[in-house]
Amino acid sequence: MLGSMADVEEIQAQFTALTTAAEAGDAATISKLAERVHAADLAKVYQDLDSEEARRTFVAALDTETLASVMRDVPAEMVEDTLGLLDQKE
């Protein structure tokens, strides 16, 4: 049972670190942390971000394959919004 509690705490810590990095505009940290987080969990973090700028930083930090996996786990309207963020980046 202790192992599962540690796992939950680790996941919560990763969510917090990813959210904090996105809000700070720290794409390098997001990229590094994302390597160890499942795409469905990244999608949850992405959906919980409050600002467009944090979302833009988040998607810019992900490689193409990871971003595609994340987008499979978000609502369709959010995928459309994300495409708009990517267009603004270019």
User: What distance in Å separates the CA atoms of residue 56 and residue 18, rounded to the nearest whole number?
Assistant: 13
CA angle 2, 7, 12 (to 5 degrees): 125
Q: How many CB atoms lie within 10 A of CB 37?
A: 19
Confidence band for 3, pLDDT divided at 50, 70 and 90? low
pLDDT attached to residue 16: 96
Average pLDDT over residues 69-81: 92
Say whether pLDDT at 5 is over 80.
no
pLDDT in tens, 14-68: 999 999 999 999 999 999 999 999 999 999 999 999 999 999 999 999 999 999 9
User: What distance in Å separates the CA atoms of residue 58 and residue 41, rounded to the nearest whole number?
Assistant: 13
